[in-house]
């Protein structure tokens, strides 16, 4: 096949898989690419996967704070997100005009015309990665205890502005994220531990994952340099699984930040030095889609061992 | 006290209660009003309350689809939201410019200057009420079965652009929402059933709630007419509890939509006529705050009967 033929075949395969998922009630289309409701069986698998990660996470005895999917715009700015990924951000706009503008908005909205000129930016943006809200919250508490801290942030909704026909590329999805903040060596070895744990999770759920060095989708020409740098320094590893598209999809990542967040938000270790951090994230919808792709669209057909691992205490709804 | 003194006293009381919540680790400040992380005990109460509502809901045998906190802008337009509440909407903007603009965004963001002129609207908005995404999804399935359907949409994140110092007024919070779509009489009596059920929930958790006719915060001069109309027709009831502010806060609502959503999204009954709908919503963070306010900031001090009702199988973390 030529490169163009491969692209077309990939797009057809994505479309076919999406159709299957919709026909079985796993995804409910909204009319907008990358935004779907989810059926009861899909959600059972997704939350069971979340619970499995909680069991794997238990030896860390993490703190478990929870954050909403919006953060102050200033947090995104301080984290340097706009330097790296402006194309993915989601800034919230709203209306603070008068009666006359409100009438024009209503009329334009009814016709489906553009009504954006009456909107202005609020102070909040959508959360682009589950760990962002935790850094300022941790900094506020003062210096870390000796050895640092471990956080489990749960399965948070995060937003990426990347509408796509690929069912594995959602605009908003659950990122199950854990964060380690502390001394450089502990932070590094914790990431290595999670790479091993992730291999175990994929193995016992029958998923064929490859874990390899990776880079973030940095914006623009300068971005290529940043990406090469990140890859050379081994800052990011990703777990890749074949889902809908021609190329394998990243379902999980394991990231070293060095002093980036500690320095941006002023997080100090017990001895006053800047804290290092690392995080690991699992894309719950992507792994759920990988499970359906690998083991079949009907959970009743999945291998017994995979079902026992995911559903140790109950069977999926409708069985 | 004069009206002005009452206002100041109210603001002081809000500030005091917010400080208490932060000191006990229940809320984690983000730097932006109405956006907080939540501590482990707060989350235990909130999710226990969610589970209690699930138990109350069980006799309805609802379908349980789940939707993300963003929807197509077109859904909000079709629902008529911009006519009624433009001031509360949240439209997502992002960046689709070139390298030069990206560099300017990064520089401005670093300085904390405005970088909004490089942003443009995407196709999505935040979900303002948990039920909005379900109507187009239900319409897509074709005519309803005889008697209609009942949906439990879970505890969804919803957004309202109303930054406030009142800890009970969050910009993004969990709305636990149930929806009934079908014949007018069934839809109406289901709402009455839920008003009774809600009384039971508040009674057994020791909350002093008043359920009364209410109206939505419609925008502008025309809004007063809409509000009066809504109240006179008994379309909306709210459960009110004293939380942080001087006046009681709405923690739950019970709404008749008549044919509004059925007609906007083309939902037909089995006989081809337009479906009616009603919904009930519980603001999970608000009720959790009301529990802390009523029974004390430390869950260990709460009355045994309230604890047995909320935590039938486990005790809150740290006990």
- The CB-side HSE value for B204 (13 A sphere, CA atoms) comes to 15
Q: Counting Cβ atoms within 10 Å, is residue B202 exposed (0-12), middle (13-18) or buried (19+)? A: buried
Same domain, A67 and A100: no
Same domain, A73 and A118: no
Instruction: Collect contacts of B307-311 with beta carbons under 8 A, ≥24 apart.
Output: B309/B52, B309/B204, B309/B205, B310/B45, B310/B48, B310/B49, B310/B52, B310/B205, B311/B44, B311/B48
- Minimum mean pLDDT among B6-10, B90-94, B210-214: which range? B6-10
Contacts of A61 in chain B (CB under 8 A): none
Confidence of residue A7 (pLDDT cuts 50, 70, 90): low
Residue A249 to residues A70, A290, A292, A313, B16, Cα–Cα distance (Å): 26, 9, 14, 30, 49
Mean pLDDT of B291-304: 97
Contacts of B121 in chain A (CB under 8 A): 93, 114, 116, 119
Residue B11 has pLDDT above 80, yes or no: no
Mutate to test the interface with B, among A91, A132, A150, A152 (most CBs of B within 10 A): A91
Nearest alpha carbon to residue B258 among B283, B238, B236? B236
Confidence of residue B314 (pLDDT cuts 50, 70, 90): confident
A67 vs B163: CB contact, 8 Å cut-off? no
Structural domain contains residue A318? no
Structural domain contains residue A315? no
Residue A124 has pLDDT above 90, yes or no: yes
Residue A181: CATH number of its domain: 3.30.930.10
B161 vs A37: CB contact, 8 Å cut-off? no
- Cβ-contact A128, A77 below 8 angstroms: no
What's the CA gap between A311 and A51, in Å, rounded? Answer: 9
- H-helix or E-strand spanning residue A99: helix A99-111
Nearest CA to CA, how far is B118 from chain A (Å)?
10
Same domain, B298 and B238: yes
Average pLDDT, chain B: 95
The pLDDT assigned to B98 comes to 94
Nearest alpha carbon to residue B124 among A129, A67, A38, A159? A159
Same domain, A45 and A191: yes
Select from A30, A38, A136 the Cβ nearest to the Cβ of B72.
Answer: A30
What's the CA gap between B56 and B252, in Å, rounded? Answer: 15
Confidence of residue A313 (pLDDT cuts 50, 70, 90): confident
Residue A1 has pLDDT above 70, yes or no: no
The pLDDT assigned to A314 comes to 84
Same domain, A35 and A102: no
Same domain, A150 and A18: yes
Strand partners, B240: B210, B250
Q: What are phi and psi of B5, to 5 degrees?
A: -65, -40
pLDDT tens-digit series, residues B54-88 = 999 999 999 999 999 999 999 999 999 999 999 99
- Cβ-contact A102, A109 below 8 angstroms: no
Select from B35, B70, B221 the Cβ nearest to the Cβ of A124.
Answer: B35
- Minimum mean pLDDT among A16-20, A201-205, B23-27: which range? A16-20
Most confident of A101-110, A179-188, B98-107: A179-188
What's the CA gap between A77 and A82, in Å, rounded? Answer: 6
Contacts of A89 in chain B (CB under 8 A): 94-95
Which DSSP symbol is given to A66? B
B38 vs A66: CB contact, 8 Å cut-off? yes
Please tell me the total count of domains within chain A: 2
Residue A6 has pLDDT above 70, yes or no: no
Contacts of A219 in chain B (CB under 8 A): 102
Q: What are phi and psi of B25, to 5 degrees?
A: 75, 15
Residue A303 has pLDDT above 90, yes or no: yes
How long a stretch of residues is chain B? 319
Structural domain contains residue A149? yes
What is the chain A residue with the closest CA to B86? A95
A91 vs B87: CB contact, 8 Å cut-off? no
pTM value is 0.96
Structural domain contains residue A37? yes
Same domain, A62 and A164: yes
What's the CA gap between B277 and B265, in Å, rounded? Answer: 12
Structural domain contains residue A300? yes
- Cβ-contact A276, A261 below 8 angstroms: no
Contacts of B113 in chain A (CB under 8 A): none
Structural domain contains residue A233? yes
Same domain, B282 and B164: yes
Select from B65, B74, B123 the Cβ nearest to the Cβ of A39.
Answer: B65
Structural domain contains residue B209? yes
Nearest alpha carbon to residue A38 among A26, A47, A30? A26
What is the chain B residue with the closest CA to A97? B87
Same domain, B169 and B36: yes
Q: Determine what percent of chain B is predicted with pLDDT higher than 90.
A: 90
A116 vs B118: CB contact, 8 Å cut-off? no
How long a stretch of residues is chain A? 319
Nearest CA to CA, how far is A186 from chain B (Å)?
25
B70 vs A219: CB contact, 8 Å cut-off? no
- Residues 6 or more apart whose Cβ sits within 8 Å of residue B33: B163, B164, B165, B171
Same domain, A120 and A65: no
What is the chain B residue with the closest CA to A29? B137
Residue B10 has pLDDT above 90, yes or no: no
Query: Token digits for A224?
Result: 């290529």
Same domain, B177 and B211: yes
The pLDDT assigned to A3 comes to 65
Ramachandran sector of residue B296 (left: φ over 0; alpha: ψ -120 to 50; beta: rest): left
pLDDT tens-digit series, residues A63-92 = 999 999 999 999 999 999 999 999 999 999
pLDDT tens-digit series, residues B165-182 = 899 999 999 999 999 999
- The CB-side HSE value for A195 (13 A sphere, CA atoms) comes to 21
Note down the domain range covering B31.
Answer: 11-90+128-310
Confidence of residue B89 (pLDDT cuts 50, 70, 90): very high
Query: Token digits for B172?
Result: 């993004």
Structural domain contains residue B106? yes
The pLDDT assigned to A13 comes to 82
- The CB-side HSE value for B23 (13 A sphere, CA atoms) comes to 8
**Last residue of one domain, picked from the residues A110, A125, A140:** A125
Query: Token digits for A26?
Result: 């796993």
Residue B4 has pLDDT above 90, yes or no: no
- Cβ-contact A268, A254 below 8 angstroms: no
Residue B282 has pLDDT above 70, yes or no: yes
B68 vs A40: CB contact, 8 Å cut-off? no
Select from B30, B64, B122 the Cβ nearest to the Cβ of A161.
Answer: B122
**Last residue of one domain, picked from the residues A100, A125, A150:** A125
Nearest CA to CA, how far is B1 from chain A (Å)?
33
Contacts of A43 in chain B (CB under 8 A): 64, 66
Same domain, A114 and A262: no
A136 vs B75: CB contact, 8 Å cut-off? no
The pLDDT assigned to A14 comes to 85
pLDDT tens-digit series, residues A182-201 = 999 999 999 999 999 999 99
pLDDT tens-digit series, residues A224-274 = 999 999 999 999 999 999 998 878 999 999 999 999 999 999 999 999 999
pLDDT tens-digit series, residues A149-170 = 999 999 999 999 999 989 999 9
């Amino acid at each position: 096949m030529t490169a163009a033929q491969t692209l077309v075949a990939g797009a057809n395969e994505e479309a076919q898989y999406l159709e299957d998922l919709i026909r079985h009630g796993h995804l409910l289309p909204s009319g907008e690419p990358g935004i779907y409701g989810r059926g009861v069986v899909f959600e059972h698998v997704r939350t069971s996967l979340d619970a499995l990660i909680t069991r794997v996470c238990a030896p860390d005895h993490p703190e478990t704070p929870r954050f909403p999917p919006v953060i102050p715009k200033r947090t995104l700015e301080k984290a340097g997100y706009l330097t790296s990924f402006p194309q993915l951000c989601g800034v919230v706009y709203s209306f603070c005009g008068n009666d006359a503008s409100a009438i024009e908005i209503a009329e334009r909205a009814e016709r489906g015309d553009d009504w954006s000129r009456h909107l202005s930016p609020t102070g909040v943006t959508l959360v682009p990665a589950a760990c962002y809200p935790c850094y300022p919250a941790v900094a506020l508490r003062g210096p870390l205890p000796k050895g640092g801290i471990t956080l489990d942030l749960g399965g948070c909704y995060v937003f990426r502005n990347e509408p796509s026909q690929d069912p594995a590329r959602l605009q908003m999805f659950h990122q199950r994220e854990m964060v380690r903040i502390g001394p450089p060596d502990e932070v590094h070895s914790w990431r290595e531990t999670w790479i091993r744990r992730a291999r175990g999770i994929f193995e016992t759920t029958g998923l064929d994952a490859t874990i390899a060095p990776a880079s973030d989708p940095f914006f623009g020409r300068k971005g290529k340099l940043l990406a090469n740098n990140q890859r050379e320094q081994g800052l990011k590893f990703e777990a890749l699984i074949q889902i809908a598209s021609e190329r394998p999809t990243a379902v999980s990542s394991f990231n070293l930040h060095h002093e980036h967040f500690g320095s941006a938000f002023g997080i100090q270790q017990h001895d006053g030095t800047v804290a290092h951090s690392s995080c690991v994230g699992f894309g719950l919808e992507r792994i759920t889609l990988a499970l359906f792709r690998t083991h079949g669209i009907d959970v009743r057909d999945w291998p017994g061992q995979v079902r026992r691992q995911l559903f140790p205490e109950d069977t999926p709804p409708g069985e």
